[in-house]
Amino acid sequence: MTFDPTKPCMTRDGRPVALITTQGREPWPLVGYIGGDTYPSFWTVRGDFEIEDDLSCPYDLINTPEPKRSGEVWVNVYLNGAVTWNSRADADKCAASRVACVHVPWTEGEGLVGK
């Protein structure tokens, strides 16, 4: 995955980074602060803390992952099928002769394994 200095970033080991410039002098054009540090750190344009191309370092920059979407649905189960609702109130309103009402929380990318 390619590092994008215009997006929020953190170190590879998970600490927040505040970039203060992308206009530093080569080979360290990225300058910023790691966590609560009071002294700046420097990175290559690719976000590498070290010059060696084949080594990764805990201080390398990566883009902060975007939060996964999540939510919940309720499924009314009937003898002849099921209907999904976005709220428990809607499920209860249309609950005539249901066998069960199942609450299903979800998080994007996690599937229903183990639920």
What confidence score (pLDDT) does residue 113 get?
A: 62
d(CA 115, CA 110): 10
Q: Model confidence over 30-62: pLDDT tens digits?
A: 999 999 999 999 999 999 998 776 778 999 999
What confidence score (pLDDT) does residue 16 get?
A: 97
What confidence score (pLDDT) does residue 114 get?
A: 55
Sketch the domain layout of the chain as residue ranges.
Answer: 9-63, 70-107
Average pLDDT estimate for 16-26: 95
* Averaged confidence pLDDT in the chain: 88
Do the Cβ atoms of 33 and 41 come closer than 8 Å? Answer: yes
What confidence score (pLDDT) does residue 82 get?
A: 81
E-strand stretches of the chain: 9-11, 16-21, 30-34, 41-43, 61-63, 70-78, 81-85, 100-107
High-pLDDT (> 90) share of the chain, %: 49
Question: In the chain, what is the straight-line distance between the N-terminal and C-terminal CA atoms, in Å?
Answer: 31
d(CA 27, CA 6): 18
Asked whether residue 97 carries a pLDDT value surpassing 80, the answer given is: no
